[in-house]
Each structure stands twice: as C-alpha cells, then as structure tokens.
Structure 1
C-alpha cells in the first residue's frame, strides 16, 4: 500500500492530458471538430498541429488511460463509445496544449519558480493540490501526504510529481489567459437595458393560426425552385463544421432463436442442479459464470435488482434461481448473511516480507507487534518504526472507508472484527497488523456464490446469419443497394452525418470498424466487409461524402424536404388569410374556420406559445408591432399566424445596473473564451487522421 498505492490510485488523475483537458474543456467545447482526409498521412501520424506531428506511439497511451478513467467512472468494460470519448479527450488536450502554448508565448505569459513553489506548498495551493491531497473525511489538505509525495525519490513518484507540477503550471497559465480574455469584454448600459427589457417586458396578444398539418402533404408538389429558394434563404444553417459521411445498411440478426433460448435454459437448469450439490461453491461459480462477482460480503444494491431484491430476504443456505432477468439467467447461493458495519475507521502497520527475510518472518514479526500492542504498546510509534506504508507518518491511520475500498483480506478483517480488535492478515501488499478503531452503522450483508449465464445465439444461428450476410454482400455489388435489399425482404436503415471519430451510429452498437471503412471508400461503394455488431452482422454502402464547409443543395436536399414543404404550405395558408380580407381577428377566424386564441404575459426572451411550441418569428413580430392592429400573416415553425397585440407591460427600471452587467459578463465572458479558442483554431493548420487508427 503506502506511497506506491497512493500513486497507483492517483496515476490516472495526474496524467497531463486528462487534467489538462478537464481544465480547458470550457474553451474547446464543440469548437474542436476537424475532419480531414487522411489518405496521404504518415502511417504513424495521428495528426498534426501547425506542422507538429502527433505520433500514435505517444497518443495511444493517452487514449488507453482515458478509457481506463471512463471505466472507473462509469463501470463495466470498455466499449466503442468509451473509446471514442477517450480519443476525443486526448485529441482535444493535444489541440488545446499546442494552440494555447503558442498563445502564451506570444502574450508573454509565464509561471515563475516562486509562483510554482507557492502553488505547490503555499498557504493557498493549486486547486489540483487540494483536489488530490485533501483528506476525504475532513476535506482539509493533508500536507504530510503531500510533502511525502513531493520528497519521494522513487522513480514513479518522481515521474508523477513532474507531471503534476507541469499541469499546475498549465492551469496557472490558463487562469491568466482566461482573466486576460474576460477582462477584455465589456457590457454597455444600453446592452444591459435591452437584455433586462427582453426578459421582463410582457406582451398580451391574440392570434389565429392555420397549421401546416391542415394541408395534406400529397397536395403539395415541390419544385427545384422551392428547394433552391429555401436553401439560399437558410444557407448559413448548412455549414458543415467537419467532414461527415452517410451510409445505408442491412442487418442480419444473430439474436438467439427460440431453439437457442431453449438450449441455454436446459444448460442453465443442469448447471443449477450441479450447483446445488457442489462442495466448493466459490470455485463452481467462478468456473461457470459469465460475470464474476467477488466472493465476499456484499451490501444491498451491488448486483442485478431482480436478484438483489430477493436474496437479501433469504437466510443463509438458501438457493435462488435460475431467474431470467434482462438478457441472462441468474443463479445464487446464499452462503452467509450477517449485519455488518457500513464503514470502518482503522489503522495498520504494513510489513514487507522481502525486507524481513520472507513471509514466515513477516508473520512472526506481526504477531510480536500484536502482542506488544495488546500489552499497551504505542501503535502509532510502532507504525512509524516498522511500517513500509505511507500512512506510517500518521501513526498508521487509514481514515474511514466503506466496503469495496480495501483488498478482500483486509476488508474481511476490518469489517468482520469488533472495535478495539488487533488482527494480523496477509494480502498482496504484505502482512498487516490492523487496529479496528471504530465501526460506523449497521446493515445486512450477504456472501453469495453467484452465476450469470448470458442468453446468446448458438454457433449454428450465427453461421446462418453470416451466410445470409455474405450472400447479400456478394450479390448486391453492382446493383441498386436499396432496391435489391427490399426485393430480398431486408429492411434498409440509414446513418447520416457520421463524423470520423464518433463511437455510435443509429441502430449500431459497435460501428467503429464500419465507420473507418466508410472513410476509406468512395461515394456509392458497397463497403468491403461484413461488420460484426453485438447482435447482428451488417452490410453497408456509402451514400454521401460531406466535406467541411457549406454543403451544396444536393447534400441537404433530403434533409430539408419537410421544411421546404412547410414553406410551400405557408404560401398557400398566407393566401388563405389574405383572401379573408377582414378587419378584425374575430372576422378572420370566422372566415378561415378557426378560433381566436388569447395569450398572456409572453416575454421576448422566452418565445413559447402555451399549448403550441416555440415560435420565434411570431413572438418577434409581436414585440415589433403596434397594439390594436391586425398583423400581416407570419410564417412560423408550426403554421401561419395572424395576430393583434392587446398591449405591453413595461418592467420597472433596473434596480442595480452593476449586478445586471455582472450577470451578462459571466455569460459573455464564457462565450468570448470559446470564440478566442475558435479563432486560434481557425488560424492553425490542423490535420486530423484519427479515423485511421480508431
């Protein structure tokens, strides 16, 4: 345990890229999305920033560390989405580091040695120091542990210390840069007044609406001019921040058939029968279970809810299952139950067998120390003398911990004893002399021998699905993919706007290899392989290649079709209103067969029409209108509207102009940071080849 344990526990948090990214994430956001062609790139180059190449040899370990962090954070094993997140995290950190470092040098920003020393050990240390060296129970900085870490000469400690100090410097530079940008932002009194008015001025009005759904889609014929008009009027919406691609695909299910399910059920019932008679419960469970559950006492809520809700009510010796829950069968033997502390406060002395001549001598020394302590010996002094753990400087104190924190041998001793007990146990770290100082809380725990068997497809089912996919892949080449699939009775699915590094695609749970192939193909190509998802084989064809920049009309034509149709309907509905030609809303409503709808207390900053939706054009028009006049028809998102304003209620004057400006500055400052980083990115030469590797 000790310092090396501390380093192992903290290693993932001290790595440069992880901390750096967390700090500059507010700068990066969605701005960092660069999809560049990769086919001319060096085989080991993940990307380059202003000519500085990033090798897969240095980038890969950072991605791996990121995956491990996400596994710890979210639990379970790594998956495509975790990997994609880790790849993005590592890339964003590289991008931020390179671009911001150049900007710091240009602006003359630096951190002196005195500043760094103060951030490490001073009265107001870096937030990173507070985060990683604070006592979890008290929340106070543990300076003894910090100094032990900084003074250590162990190679791993030196490496981690250097990384941490570098990241503290980076954070300090980022703070200086942030303050510099934010201090350049200013809010005028006129801007503050406008913002206040937009959020507090109230409008009361009435409207009559004709919904787009009142015009049947079949009655609307769209022309090329309709598409072109809409495209030109909304061209800014079609800026593609990064290259994306689209593909269509057919899936061939490898979900278990009824026969597979029956076979697995029979297998599980046989396992259950043998499990009841097994002499070594833990060994039998370990050999037969697809999911490994520690053979130790568990608190409620640690296993599948269907099992958890039952086994905690059963006495020791009970047998439960097989129970089909989710996609697997569960079987459990309740080996033991008891009431146990929720947490334990303990201290220990850790003896390294290698330093005392072997495990036998280590145990003898531990027994001798236990005897001395039982006779009144000072545990803290003995810990300082004999322990190899970092806690020895605190008299062996480990603080308070819950189940699942310590290795099983240590946990069983600490939670299985009583307050005041001195215990000797062996673990992977050495031989421990444990003093149980306090036990807190009391709740039921159970020790289970647990088996879980997944409901999966048989090899026969998988082979049949693969054969069908292979036949389709061979036969569809040179044919109309969609038409041929439908002729064969297969459903065609579509994935649009797939970016190079994303870890998901509609309907696909493991699409990375397919996405990589899509970025190596030309538009119209049937991708060369059968791609294996968790429960299906997939055959796909690349349908679109959308480069970075403003997309052409043809690339968005299908996407904008509903909006174009509504625009054409809007012309028809406007004509209907104009033909009504009445002087009042009531008359207009009568002529078009609709009702007049009153609306109260709408503000410009929240353009929601109760019972309808957000209608920006309508609310914007209302706040620009004169009371008492019937408006011209207004084209909205849900339909066309005619309205009349009853009146406005102006807010009271701003009570505190400074506070109003301060609130706006917070939001404006955040946007300015993102804008500043976007400007750095726009002026940099960035090549992103990640899709080649991940």
Structure 2
C-alpha cells in the first residue's frame, strides 16, 4: 500500500515532467509553420514534424497536463491566454522531441545501460531522482523507497518507472548535446579585443542635424521606385516567421443600462431587507449570492478591499451593505468575531467509510483510534496503518497551513481547538482523526454570511444587443465593412497580425472562436457568427492574410510608407547639406540654420544620442572616422546628420584576456543553444494545424 500511495502522490508530477520538460532551454521561439488550410488536414492531426503526425488523442492530454500545471501555479480557472500558453508549451515539446531525437541519432548520442544505472542508483543520481525520492528531513535520496519503486511489478509502478527512466535519458542526452554545442564556440583574441573596445572606447564629437519633421509629410510623394528601393534594401525585415491574420470588428454592448442598474438595485434592497431578518443566515446566503463565500471564519484580507476593512471593524450582529464595488453589490452579516491562530500545524488519520464497511464502522474505528492515541499510542504508527491519505507515509503530518487551505469541517476543528487536542470530524473525504500539533500567531477573524449580486444586463438588454448585431451581420454582407459600420455610428476596432494560436486580441476577452474562424476564412470575408464576449457581441471581418515567409512589397507597402517617406526626405536634406559645403561644421550649421551639438563619452555598444534617439548609423560612422574631419551626410532614424570627431579615449589594455574570452564564450554558448534549435526548426518540414482544435 505504501508504494501505491507513493505512486499516486507523485504520478502527476512524473507525468507532467515527462510530457512537459522537453528541453526548455532550447525553446526560444515558436516554429509555427501553417501549411495547407486546416479544413483539408486529417481531422485528428494537430500537425506534423518532418513527416511525423501528431494526433489530437496524444496531444490533448499533454495540453491538459500543462493547463492544470498553470492553474496550480497562477491560481484561478483557465482562460484563453492560459490555454494558449499550455498549447504552445505542448507544441514546443513535440518539436523538441522529434527534432532533437533526430539530432541525437545523427550524432550518435546515446545513454548506455551503465550510465542509466548510475543515473538511477549511483552516487550522483539524476536531478529527477533527487527531486522525487529525497527524504525531506535529511535531503538525501531514500534508497529503500527508490528501490521499491524500481522493482515493483504492479502495472502502475511499471508504467511510471518507464516514464521516469525515459525522461532521465532525455535529460542526459540534452546535457550531452548542450555540451557539444557549447564546446563548438570559440572566441579569438581579436574578437575579445573588439568586444572590449566596443564597450569601453569613448568618442567625443559634434554634430549638426536636419530633422525629418522639418519637411511636412504632405509635401513628400514617394514614387513606386522609392518603395522598391526601400524594400530591396531592407528585405530581411519583411520575413514573416508565421502566418498571421488581421481583422476589423465592431461591438454591440451588453453592459447594463440605467434601467437595468435600477432594477438590480431594487432587487438588492429587497434582498437586504429579507437578509437582515433571515432565520438561517448560511442558507439565505447560499440561495441568494452569485458568489459563494464559505460560511466559516475568515481572516482580514479575504474580501474585496473596498469592504474588507469596514466589515472587520464591525462587532458581531452588525449588517453591512448594500455596497456597490466593481460590478456587484455586497451585503454582509457579521455572525461572530474572535481572535484565532494565524496558522496550525496538524496531523491526521483519514478513514474512508467505503473501505471499512460503512459509516458506523468508520465512526467506531475513528473513536477507537482517538482512544488509543489518548492512552499514549503512536499517532504516526496508527496513521501509517489506518490512514488512506497520502500523508500516511509521513505519519499523517500535514505540515503548517493557514485558513482556507482545508475543507471547512477540518479547518474549524484545527483552528477552534487548542494545541494537543485529538478531534474526530467528518468531511466530504471521510472521517478525520486530527491531532493539533501547534497553533501559531493570533489575529481577529470573523464568521460572515455573505451575499453578492452582480450588476448585469437584463435579458431584454441582451436581446436588443443581439438583435442589433444580427441585423448588422445580415446587412453588411456584400458591403464595405468599415464604411457601413461608420454609417451606422459604430466604432471599428482593429486586431492586427493575430497568430493562429494566440490567446488574446486587442479589446477582446474571449477571442479564440473568432480567431479560429478568421483562419478558416479568406481575405474580405465577414465571419459567419456573432461572437460573445463578457460585455459585448462582436461581428468581425478579415482584412489581411500574411503567409509565412518573405512578404511581397504590396503586402507591406502601407506599413513601410512612413519609412519610405523619410528616405525621400533624407535625399532632400542631404542635398541641403551638400549645398552648405564641408569645410567647417560651424559654417555648415550657420548655413542650414541649426546649432552644433556636442556629445561626450559615447560608446559603440550603446549608440544612444542623449536627448535624441538610438542612432546606430551615426554612431557607427563616428567610430569609423578620423578626428578633425567633417563627415558626409549620414541618414539616421530621426534625421540626417553631419559630424566631426573631436577625439577618442582608448581604454587600458585588457587585464585578463582569458577572463574576457570566458565571459564572451558563456554568453555565446547560451545563445548558440537557441540558435541551434532554431536552425533545426528552419530546416524541418513543420505543419501546424493547432488552430483547428484550440
């Protein structure tokens, strides 16, 4: 039984680790490669990597595992963004599993039986063995538990052992591959010296600038040749790493109207009057509240901050509210107040009536165990023999916990008793024999009956909004979406460059279905549904589809218009500088009507001009110039510059070349791991149909 309890307690962790680990260090970016339209793909295929199909039957449980992990980590229920994170993590794990395993095979990387044995049972075991099998008291690996786990023939144990051993192999292979990549990185003395100088050599110079803003945009009309020149010179900027879609949308509010607010307020006033005289406070709250707060003692800080302090200042018997905070009314009846421990350390023995022959036998067993403990029997030994809870392996020890960590019945017994008490209570899990080991701290707590009523739109308001959305959807088909929306007095919002698995979109709190339909549609389509958000109905229209790869000029023409206009302005400003001559910077400044600006102590590695902007071309030109000479005009981010270098301050020679190289190699080694994995993705055939399923 001990081994099975161990497995039950750790099975989730082992599964999550085996599914989700997948070489996190390498996952520096998505490899989304949207292939053929999802409706043409196999109905169960989430995607494929180099011909290996990924089935939703295998992929879905991995997403669920990740999602459960995120919910535990961040708290609350799953939302669209959390789901998108879980899907991305599972997808990246699939990419890593296929691509890296192919690399291991190509390079001949393996883990021998002797290596695996050492990683499982040797003097320096795998970090996973240390994580799952260490004794919490000593910090050392519990060899007995480990060997029982590895030698067990029970099906569940065998399955978990196989998963764990495979993940230990994966981790070892990852380390070997990482070492190969890192050891391939080398830094020469020349590279080290350049890096050192780039960060320490100082430049002092003066410049004169003509800003692009000095020429009105309206006076500049870029030609097709101007667009082509800019596009050709900057083609690398237009590589689209993944397919994206853009859409416009309009919203039809379903927020409560003034009439709705008044109706809710009248309802709340009636509830308040009845609440004050209700004979059963907990039942009344359970029936009437939209938000369920446990009918138990709460510590300060658990309620809405707007009412928390006020409620905890009231004596027992007081009534508070109705108070409107956020989007709901709160009503609170203070049943009792007292001072109570902040936390409790306790142990328990859990008895499952179904396993001992029913309720009567469970009660008798619990009372018998309580009697034995009061007579001096070891609580820890009785817990190991009789408890069905995972804490039995630790003698029933539950550690230290605060309010809200346990079910109400258990919490009440633990916090309302005193140190040394042995109590028997029933909860949804069975019968607990509880030993209160220690109570820590003391603060005021209050037992509250709590009612919260949400200020929501009426069904009439929702129906009117839905009808308006429906009419718009029917009427806009075949028309200019944006123009027709404006005619109807609606605001057109834009969601630009939305990725297929994205869990959010500007202004939309639940966009996944809309995004899925956008990827099923064509450019210009009005999407077929009315999409429901928290406070609005939404109608959307696909405005742009950007495929993966280098985008054509027409796809980016509107986007690059400001840069092209500045390029045209740059030519005009250069001509102005050319007419001013190159003899002296002060004379040039006088002729163009601009001041000479001095700049001190600029380094190449940080090309920011104080009070101006980051000007890479200008600073790069400065460090490539001779002192005392007036430069040719340099086209920058904010304008066109001419400069003259006053001088450079060279740093002292490198004191420790080895340390300089070591620092650079560490940084390069870390980047090289990501670069290597990205290269594997770039050279793989990846088809991603996740948008079909999530």
CA distance in 1, matches of 2:365, 2:201: 80
What residue is the counterpart of 2:291 in the other structure? 291
- Structure 1 residues 54 and 587, CA gap change in structure 2 (3 angstroms): same
2:678: which partner in 1?
Answer: 678
Residue 462 of structure 1 corresponds to which residue in structure 2? 462
Say if 2:391 and 2:398, in contact at 8 Å, map to a contact too: yes
* Conservation of the 8 A alpha-carbon contact between 1:145 and 1:390: no
After superposition, the Cα gap between the structure-2 partners of 1:30 and 1:50, relative to the gap in structure 1 and judged at 3 Å, is same
Q: Residue by residue, what CA displacement relative to the aligned partner does 1:451-478 show, whole Å, maximum 9, x if unpaired?
A: 3333222222222222222222222222
Deviation at 1:148, TM superposition (A): 6.8
Partner Cα distance (2:164, 2:204) in 1: 59
Quick check: 1:259 aligned with 2:226? Answer: no
8 Å Cα contact 2:32-2:688 kept in structure 1: no
- The equivalent residue for 2:32 is 33
2:191 is the counterpart of 1:206: no
Deviations 1:11-67 (A, max 9, x none): 553325x55544523212214222222232111111122222222122222222222
Give how far 1:603 is off.
1.5
Q: Which whole-Å CA distance do the structure 2 matches of 1:23 and 1:51 have between them?
A: 19
* In 1: Cα distance, 2:168 partner to 2:684 partner: 26
Q: 2:504, 2:511 within 8 Å by CA — same for their partners in 1? A: yes
Listed as ranges, the matches of 1:265-414 within 5 Å are 265-414=265-414
Q: Which moved more, 1:138-147 or 1:501-510?
A: 138-147
1:599 aligns with 599
Q: Shift of the alpha carbon at 1:162?
A: 3.6
SS of match in other structure, 1:14: helix
- The yes-or-no answer on 1:246 pairing with 2:246 is yes
Q: Which residue of 2 aligns with 1:187?
A: 187
> Which SS does the other structure have where 1:39 is aligned?
helix
Instruction: Give the 3 Å change call, closer, same or farther, for CA 548–683 of structure 1 in structure 2.
Output: same
The correspondence of residues 565-604 of structure 1 with structure 2, limited to 5 A, is 565-581=565-581, 583-604=583-604
SS at match of 1:336: strand
In 1, the alpha carbon distance for the partners of 2:359 and 2:113 equals: 46
Check conservation: 2:50, 2:686, Cα contact below 8 A: yes
C-alpha distance in 1, partners of 2:253/2:3?
51
Which range is displaced more, 458-467 or 151-160? Answer: 151-160
**Cα displacement (A) at 1:309:** 3.4
Task: Name the TM-score, length of structure 2 as normaliser.
Answer: 0.93
Q: Measure the CA separation in 1 of the matches of 2:153 and 2:279.
A: 50
Once superposed, what is the RMSD of the aligned Cα atoms?
2.7
Equivalenced residues, count: 693
Please tell me whether the aligned partners of residues 32 and 687 of structure 2 are also in contact (alpha carbons under 8 angstroms).
no
Aligned 8 A contact 1:20 1:170 in 2: no
How far 1:144 moved relative to its partner? 7.0
Distance change in 2, residues 1:131/1:445 (3 Å): farther
SS at match of 1:335: strand
Q: Which runs of 5+ in 1 are unaligned?
A: none
- 2:628 aligned with 1:628: yes
Structure 1 CA distance, aligned partners of 2:109 and 2:455?
A: 59
My pick for the range that moved more, 339-348 or 142-151, is 142-151
8 Å contact from structure 2 (residues 202, 650) kept in 1: yes
The structure-2 alpha-carbon separation of the partners of 1:332 and 1:642, relative to structure 1 and needing over 3 Å to count, comes to farther
CA offset digits 1:464-514 (Å, max 9, x no partner): 222222222222222222222222222222222111111112222211111
Q: How does 1:683-694 map to 2 (within 5 A)?
A: 683-694=683-694
Alignment of 1:411-450 (within 5 A): 411-450=411-450
Match of 2:501 in 1: 501
Partner of 2:102: 102
For 2:300 and 2:136, the matched residues in 1 are separated by 23
Q: 1:483 — aligned with what?
A: 483
- When normalised by structure 1's length, the TM-score is 0.93
Q: Could you say if the C-alpha distance between residues 191 and 281 of structure 1 is closer, same or farther in structure 2, counting changes exceeding 3 Å?
A: farther
CA distance in 2, matches of 1:152, 1:439: 40
Which residue of the partner structure matches residue 222 of structure 1?
Answer: 222
Task: Say if 1:542 and 1:4 are closer, same or farther in 2 by CA, change over 3 A.
Answer: farther
The 1:272–1:199 alpha-carbon spacing in structure 2 relative to 1, beyond 3 Å, is: farther
Residue aligned with 1:344, SS: strand
In 2, are the aligned partners of 1:316 and 1:335 still within 8 Å (CA)? yes
Distance 1:450 1:14, change over 3 A: farther
Give, in angstroms, the shift of residue 390 of structure 1.
4.2
Q: Give deviations 1:94-144, integer Å, cap 9, x for gaps.
A: 111111222222222233444344434544333334445557788766667
- Return 5+ residue gaps in structure 2 as ranges: none
Pick closer, same or farther for the CA change 1:139–1:509 going to 2, 3 Å: farther
Matched, 1:24 2:26: no
The DSSP-based 3-state class of the residue aligned with 1:96 is helix
Residues in 1 aligned to 2:526 and 2:356: alpha-carbon distance in whole angstroms:
67
Query: Aligned partners of 1:155, 1:479: CA distance in 2, in Å?
Result: 63
Q: 1:410 to 1:688 in 2, by over 3 A?
A: same
What residue number does 1:76 align with?
76
Change (3 A) 1:643 1:388: same
